[in-house]
A and B are shown apart, each in its own frame.
Chain A
Amino acid sequence: MPWTHLFAAGPAQPASTPSDAGRQLTYRQALLEAQRQALAADAAVVVMGEGVDDAAGSFGTTLGLQEQFGADRVFDLPLAENGCMGLALGAALAGLRPIVVHLRADFLLLALDQLANHAAKWRYMFHARQTAPLVVRCVVGRGWGSAAQHSQPLHGVLMQFPGLKVALPATPHDAKGLLLAAIADAGPVVLLEHRWLYDDLGPVPEAVYGVPLGRAAVRRKGKDVTIAAVSLMVREALAAAEILTRTGVSAEVLDLRTVAPMDTAALVASVAKTGRLVLADTGHLRGGWAAEAAAVAAEQCLSCLKAPVARVGLPDAPTPASPVLEAAYYPGPEAIVQAVEQVVRS
């Protein structure tokens, strides 16, 4: 399959070619470009989901794809999430490389049977006699009263299913690269795209490139504390690191990029250097990604830690609607700064 081969042995992050070194795209444009290139490169790639062909084009990330590639390859689906996930899985088993789009991650819960009981297990259960090269793109909502059923990040839940890869791109570069890598992967891969990142602008090479699943990136070097983060919290962590320079604290910011599999080596290496760890998660703290990362630190580098690990994430409550409650619910850079100060002081 041409698409698979493209990355099977490809470089981790090919340097941008000189001609497009300064090229900037938004996160949403990067997602659109990745799908356009994938559709062009491999006839097996199809894009499906509620509204992928409408005028809003999945928040602009599927705009024009049906016009360019036709309704056989880019098409609308009924509101039948579990059936549609099974449809995509079946198509993947039969040789297609489907990309399923959900405008909110919350709707994925209706498809969890086909995704978790079936897709996630297929490759292992049949010892790779069939694989499920399936990509599920989900948008994570936040704000404007999105409320309890339109804002759940869900990676903490999804990372509990062995076999299911879970990626959370935090930059336009990674939005394209992780999506392309996911399409090329034997799958299944869930991409959780934070809605608040959609307008972020950043360098995105025009070339086809993959960001390997399971590899973290150091976003800022530092020596006093490691702030390990995912998704929108990477941006918040960078803002926190900037604030911390005022008090002379040098924070390293590590973007995990995928939580399943997780780049534990990068986490441990950074903590070994800084001796302190703050985890910043877009998800719930209890039993979530940050809990797993803290456990990894406790298991693998406890002796490097000069202070207890601190976690910043969502409290133990569903998302409330009122703006006042939303403000109390979501931690931002200030919460990260506080956590760092506590860790650095102790």
Chain B
Amino acid sequence: MTEAPALDDIRRLLRCMLRIRRFEERVAARYPEQQMRTPVHLCIGQEAVAAGVCLALGQEDVVCSTHRSHGHYLAKGGSMPALAAELYGRSTGCASGRGGSMHVIDVAAGVAGTSAIVGGGIPLAVGMALAFALRREPRVAVAFLGDGAADEGVFFESLGLASLRRLPVLFVIENNGFATASPLANRRRCPELHRLAEPHGIPGEGLDGNDALAVLDAARRAVDRARRGEGPTVLEAVTCRWKGHVGPQPDTARPAAELAAWMARCPIAQLCQRLPEGTSGELAAMEQAVAEEIDDAFAVALASPYPDPATLLDEVW
């Protein structure tokens, strides 16, 4: 980046990442109580991607997330109490308790319903972009996907459709190097996922996914292009998840030394260093506010009723 980053951006990114990190840490801490009966795929370590991309978006823009959805949901402005309630299977959950962690939604905030079929959400983002384009609305759709989802045929079909119609869509690949415990090298010869955009004539860019400012900068450029009618962009953010594929335990798929090296490059700690001197009090205040917000969200969730079993067959037909 050529210009110095705006202090306001740094603050907002930090606050966003802290909300995600601390929320998920709370989920991990309370998971053993066995009251959140839903498989949780935590994104701790990857917060910079959700934060950077979503700060480049407006409320009217939409994101399509994955099984690893909490970060995208919170960064896009999804309601935290409704997320907590969804994890606890309560009627006040963002999907009324029907979806659980893998199927979050907050339409008002621009979080489209989330698919837990790997790659399932990618063409939905393209379709939403089609609707925006046909109605001449200056809105953008984002498909978040993992490196595993980039294996799926539907990803390539979606790239083709988006480029053919020059649709306002961002494909954001969070390349954390693993699909469950399967390393990228088991699954493809060419590890540079952003280059998969090339044959479709789509610009592709590889990024340090732990640098929230770099992600924000790239996302802003891509969103501008999309709003100008210049079509889709592929962003590949290389990052690392610290927790196991599913559940609250630390990751064991990645060699321990490699995981430690990534943890030393914590996206939050790195961005804290970009705060000007003498702002440590500000960070503490931010932490305090985030902790209170999470306390409240969990309290609201746990005080909420379960869905009425009599509603089991509602909204089928």
Taking CB atoms, residues of chain B closer than 8 Å to A107 are 117
Q: Quick check: is A72 within 8 A (CB to CB) of the other chain? A: no
Selected from B99, B115, B182, B313, the residue in CB contact (under 8 A) with A321 is B99
Given contacts A322-B90, A322-B97, A79 and B103 within 8 Å (CB-CB): no
CB distance from A315 to the nearest CB of B (A): 6
- Give the size of the chain A interface in residues (CB under 8 angstroms): 38
Q: Give Cα A104–Cα B313 distance, bound, in whole angstroms.
A: 24
Q: Quick check: is B38 within 8 A (CB to CB) of the other chain? A: yes
Decide: B149 and A79 in contact? CB cutoff 8 A: yes
Q: Quick check: is A325 within 8 A (CB to CB) of the other chain? A: yes
Taking CB atoms, residues of chain B closer than 8 Å to A67 are none
Q: Quick check: is A14 within 8 A (CB to CB) of the other chain? A: no
Selected from B100, B179, B307, the residue in CB contact (under 8 A) with A145 is B100
6 A-B pairs within 8 Å (CB atoms) are namely A78-B186, A318-B316, A320-B97, A322-B37, A322-B306, A328-B312
Decide: A78 and B181 in contact? CB cutoff 8 A: no
Decide: B102 and A322 in contact? CB cutoff 8 A: no
Given contacts A54-B180, A106-B117, A324-B97, A145 and B312 within 8 Å (CB-CB): no
Q: Quick check: is A41 within 8 A (CB to CB) of the other chain? A: no
Contact string, A237-248, partner B, CB cutoff 8 A, digits 1/0?
000000000000
Taking CB atoms, residues of chain A closer than 8 Å to B100 are 145, 147, 321-322
Q: Which of A66-96 contact B (CB under 8 A)?
A: 76-83
Q: Give Cα A27–Cα B188 distance, bound, in whole angstroms.
A: 33
Q: Give Cα A320–Cα B86 distance, bound, in whole angstroms.
A: 12
Taking CB atoms, residues of chain A closer than 8 Å to B151 are 78-80
Given contacts A149-B115, A149-B116, A149-B117, 11 further A-B contacts (CB under 8 A): A51-B181, A51-B182, A53-B186, A79-B118, A79-B149, A145-B37, A145-B100, A320-B307, A322-B90, A323-B37, A325-B98
Taking CB atoms, residues of chain B closer than 8 Å to A51 are 180-182
Decide: B90 and A50 in contact? CB cutoff 8 A: no
Decide: A315 and B152 in contact? CB cutoff 8 A: no
Q: Quick check: is A316 within 8 A (CB to CB) of the other chain? A: yes
Q: Which residue of B lies closest to A84 (CB)?
A: B151
Q: Give Cα A146–Cα B39 distance, bound, in whole angstroms.
A: 7
Decide: B316 and A144 in contact? CB cutoff 8 A: no
Taking CB atoms, residues of chain A closer than 8 Å to B252 are 55
Q: Quick check: is B123 within 8 A (CB to CB) of the other chain? A: no
Q: Quick check: is A220 within 8 A (CB to CB) of the other chain? A: no
Contact string, A132-160, partner B, CB cutoff 8 A, digits 1/0?
00000000000111111110000000000
Q: Quick check: is B275 within 8 A (CB to CB) of the other chain? A: no
Size class of B's contact patch? Answer: 35 or more
Taking CB atoms, residues of chain A closer than 8 Å to B148 are 79
Decide: A324 and B182 in contact? CB cutoff 8 A: no
Decide: B116 and A76 in contact? CB cutoff 8 A: no
Contact string, A98-132, partner B, CB cutoff 8 A, digits 1/0?
00000000110010000000000000000000000
Decide: B97 and A79 in contact? CB cutoff 8 A: no
Decide: B186 and A76 in contact? CB cutoff 8 A: yes
Q: Quick check: is A329 within 8 A (CB to CB) of the other chain? A: yes
Decide: B152 and A79 in contact? CB cutoff 8 A: yes
Given contacts A107-B117, A321-B100, A327-B309, A145 and B39 within 8 Å (CB-CB): yes
Taking CB atoms, residues of chain A closer than 8 Å to B187 are 76-79
Selected from A53, A55, A77, A317, the residue in CB contact (under 8 A) with B313 is A317
Q: Quick check: is A56 within 8 A (CB to CB) of the other chain? A: yes
Contact string, B171-207, partner A, CB cutoff 8 A, digits 1/0?
0000000011110001110000000000000000000
CB distance from B60 to the nearest CB of A (A): 28
Given contacts A79-B151, A83-B153, A324-B306, A150 and B102 within 8 Å (CB-CB): yes
Q: Which residue of B lies closest to A103 (CB)?
A: B180
Taking CB atoms, residues of chain A closer than 8 Å to B317 are 316
Taking CB atoms, residues of chain A closer than 8 Å to B37 are 143-145, 321-323
Q: Which of A19-76 contact B (CB under 8 A)?
A: 50-51, 53-56, 76
The 4 A-B residue pairs with the shortest CB-CB distance in the complex, in nearest-first order: A321-B100, A322-B89, A145-B38, A322-B97
Q: Quick check: is B119 within 8 A (CB to CB) of the other chain? A: yes
Q: Give Cα A130–Cα B51 distance, bound, in whole angstroms.
A: 54
Q: Which residue of B lies closest to A143 (CB)?
A: B37
Q: Give Cα A148–Cα B181 distance, bound, in whole angstroms.
A: 24
CB distance from A246 to the nearest CB of B (A): 27
Q: Give Cα A50–Cα B103 distance, bound, in whole angstroms.
A: 22
Q: Which residue of A lies closest to B89 (CB)?
A: A322
